[in-house]
Amino acid sequence: MRILPAIGLFLAGCVTSGRFNETVAELNKRNDEAAQKARAEDEAARARIGELEKKLGASEAKLKETEERLAQTTSARDELSKKLDATVQKLTGEKGELFQSIEKARADIAASRAQLEEVNRQKAAAEARAETYRNLTNKLRAMTDAGQLKVQNREGRMLIALPNDVLFDSGKASLKKQGKEALAQLAGVLKQFAERKFQIAGHTDDDPIKTARFPSNWELSTARAVDVTRFLVEQGMNPKQLSAVGYGEFDPVVQNDSDEHKRQNRRIEIALQPNISDLPPIEEPK
């Protein structure tokens, strides 16, 4: 916008026409320069604003990208935390199972050791019984060779079997002279085993007996066992080592189907009783 009329009136009375024109030109020039400068500054400001808007857009994009990455990282962290928790739980369970396995292994080892100790104890007891059997057999060798008795194992028991015909007459329970001689010799051997106990058992065949004294073979077999026991005590054996029982015809060694078999079933058996240490341990009820 030009302001020449106003300036003209202002300067009309003061300056010449040429001076006036110079002044107006100078003012117009300054006005143009100010306008150009303003336009340049406006363009620079606009350019700066555009640059700032671009940077702002880039920053917003970067922020969005960072937020997305943060969200992904948080999700990954949560997933990793879940996996870690699951792994910890699994390892904790495996640890518990491992401890249980260790305790079971220890219990199995203890049980195996106990079984081994029991096996060794039974082995030692069996060896001791075998040694006793050998000693008894050797000491009775002469009587065995003479047919006066037999030393045998039957049903897990060590037995000295004496034929009934050597000891008693048929149907009787009093020892014969020949029987007493055999038992006296036997007592001399059994006294050497003072730490062991012996059970004297009477046996008959299945021929029935029914007398006032012996209503059945039970009474007869028991009476014979008692008579043998008393005689052994008379020969110096400790009565605390001895007991007497009668089986009658109910524990035969063979069938009662011939005279010879019946003769074998009529017998006195002296059983070597096991020591308590020979027996397996009895478990207490839980």
Summarised one tens digit per residue, pLDDT across range 183-238 is 999 999 999 999 999 999 999 999 999 999 999 999 999 999 999 999 999 999 99
| CB-CB contact of 146 with 171 (8 Å) | no
| Domain coordinates in residue numbering, the chain | 1-32, 143-278
For residue 283, the model assigns a pLDDT of 63
pLDDT tens digits, 27-59: 888 888 888 888 888 888 888 888 888 888 888
For residue 286, the model assigns a pLDDT of 58
For residue 73, the model assigns a pLDDT of 85
Answer whether residue 3 shows pLDDT above 60: no
Question: The whole model's pTM is what?
Answer: 0.59
Hey, which residues does 203 pair with through a beta bridge? 248, 267
For residue 54, the model assigns a pLDDT of 87
Strand order of the sheet with strand 197-203?
150-154, 157-163, 267-273, 197-203, 242-248
| CB-CB contact of 242 with 236 (8 Å) | no
Span 143-278 CATH architecture = 2-Layer Sandwich (3.30)
Would you place residue 257 in the very low, low, confident or very high pLDDT band (cuts 50, 70, 90)?
very high
The rounded distance, in Å, linking the Cα atoms of 208 and 236 is: 35
Share of the chain above pLDDT 90, in %: 44
The rounded distance, in Å, linking the Cα atoms of 272 and 128 is: 13
> Which residue has tokens 């969005």?
64
The rounded distance, in Å, linking the Cα atoms of 140 and 190 is: 10
Answer whether residue 128 shows pLDDT above 80: no
Torsions phi, psi of 192, nearest 5? Answer: -75, -10
Residue ranges of alpha helices (H) inside the chain are 4-11, 17-139, 141-145, 164-167, 177-190, 217-234, 259-265
* Mean pLDDT value across the chain: 87
pLDDT tens digits, 136-180: 899 999 999 998 899 998 888 899 999 999 999 999 999 999 999
For residue 127, the model assigns a pLDDT of 80
Share of the chain above pLDDT 70, in %: 91
| CB-CB contact of 243 with 272 (8 Å) | no
